[in-house]
Amino acid sequence: MRNRNVLALTLASAAALVAGPVTLPAAAATAAPAPHSGAHCPQLSKKLPWYGDNRARLQKVIDERGTCANPHLGHGKKRPVAAFDWDNTITKNDVTDATISWALRHDKILRPKSWKSSSKWMTDAGHRALTKACGTTVPAGGPLPTSTDDACADEILQIREDGTTMSGAAAFAGTWNHRRTVPQYAWVPQLFAGHTVKEVESYAKKARKEALAAPVGTTRTIGSHTVPGYARYYDQQRDLIRTLKKAGFDVYIVSAGSEPVAEVWARGVGIDRKHTIAIRSVLDHKGRITTWNQGCGGTGATKGEAIPYIDGKRCFINQEIYRIQGKKAWDKQRWGKRIAVGGGDADTDVTFVGDATGAHLVLNRNKSEFMCRAYDNADGRWVVNPMFIEPLPRKSGTYPCSTGAYNEPDGRKGPVLRDDGSVVPDQRDTVH
């Protein structure tokens, strides 16, 4: 399934597929094997600052699950898995957005025949706004002059950011499972329809070079939008990945961004294409990106209904890493079929990070459902850390865990529930 040749389908065939330091509760403790006295235990760098005792807590999991306690990992003994979100988890700032920014400033977005066809949820208002702003002078398939056409660039950025037009009208409408997709995320690879994967990779490489060279705090103005102009790999996360790999873990990236972009950036922390999971576009018979993407959990190819987003990240981990096929891929698996370490920064990561059996690493970006789980710390394994660069201030008030932090499949907000059905009480922000 990781083979790109599988994705080289015609559109017709695609359509047919249609906390800071905590005390571990006794009830949550899991007996771990004693470290192997003769084994070398790869160590996290003590020169890189972590909040509280977070480094020690992560090191404990590495020692218990890695080669220190299991020296025969990789020699007949299955490796433990660590999986991380990418944007604002391994890097500061969103690398897919950095690529969109670069593409808009270099006229790399191709005009579709109809904006309505760029997303199955595109509204008439969204279609009209994009058509008016971007015009019809450029032939379909030709590059839009977004480097000079502020109105066109503005509409694209506004819809990507908020799912609304510049006038405030909804750009997307209809029915979708809000724990499996969000239209403006799915729309990003759809914006690159008509390009080849190699072309998008080349844009991502140029955007990466530009963003890493820009000073921390740099912003750019595109149309009337001000967007981040820099990105950085977090040194702590680079070190964590290096240490996990040295200790025998298989380390994966699971992102709700465009896969060619995620793959370019993942190489910078030693993670190859095979270990990078993101929105994977279906290609046409000429190898060009279409508005279809590979599905999960028995959905087949879709136009965005199933992407690595909230429960979708669990599904793709189960399907791509543990080879669980069909509807079962949406389900929480038994202990031996779950990742050991998970890390993320937002609600889109809450399900797969919560599935981890060893440590749930959370970078605090004040995302309600995620922080409710993290601060509730039901199993004693949640590790909360401020962002390593430009951390957010303390959130005022409390997270509305008991009433409106959970993202319901139909888009409503509800209470966050523990596995036993009890309600998570409202939580204060204590790690910032």
pLDDT tens-digit series, residues 153-195: 999 999 999 999 999 999 999 999 999 999 999 999 999 999 9
Residue 3 has pLDDT above 60, yes or no: no
Residue 28 has pLDDT above 80, yes or no: no
pLDDT in the model for residue 38? 41
pLDDT in the model for residue 32? 42
Residue 18 has pLDDT above 80, yes or no: no
Provide mean pLDDT across the span 278-300: 96
Mean per-residue pLDDT of the chain: 92
* pLDDT, tens only, 361-390: 999 999 999 999 999 999 999 999 999 999
* pLDDT, tens only, 387-402: 999 999 999 999 999 9
pLDDT in the model for residue 75? 65
pLDDT in the model for residue 31? 39
DSSP code for 125? H
- How confident is residue 5, by pLDDT bands cut at 50, 70 and 90? very low
Domain boundaries, the chain: 4-22+42-90+234-428, 95-228
Higher pLDDT, 224 or 13: 224
Residue 20 has pLDDT above 80, yes or no: no
23, 243, 282, 284, 413 from 196: Cα distances, Å: 51, 35, 11, 10, 39
- How confident is residue 40, by pLDDT bands cut at 50, 70 and 90? confident
Residue 141 has pLDDT above 70, yes or no: yes
Q: Are 342 and 83 in contact (CB under 8 A)?
A: yes
- How confident is residue 16, by pLDDT bands cut at 50, 70 and 90? very low
Any long-range contacts for 213-222 (C-beta under 8 Å, 24+ apart)? 216/92, 216/389, 216/390, 217/390, 220/101, 220/105, 222/101, 222/104, 222/105, 222/150, 222/153, 222/154, 222/157
Half-sphere exposure of residue 82: CA atoms within 13 angstroms, side-chain side:
28
Provide mean pLDDT across the span 126-155: 98
* Beta strands at 427-428 and 398-399: parallel, antiparallel or unpaired: antiparallel
- How confident is residue 76, by pLDDT bands cut at 50, 70 and 90? low
* pLDDT, tens only, 78-103: 899 999 999 999 999 999 999 999 99
Provide mean pLDDT across the span 246-265: 97
Residue 42 has pLDDT above 70, yes or no: yes
* Token pair recorded at residue 24: 């571990």
Share of the chain above pLDDT 90, in %: 88
Q: Residue 407, Cβ neighbours under 10 Å: how many?
A: 21
The predicted model scores a pTM of 0.90
Architecture in CATH of 4-22+42-90+234-428: 3-Layer(aba) Sandwich (3.40)
- How confident is residue 71, by pLDDT bands cut at 50, 70 and 90? confident
- How confident is residue 8, by pLDDT bands cut at 50, 70 and 90? very low
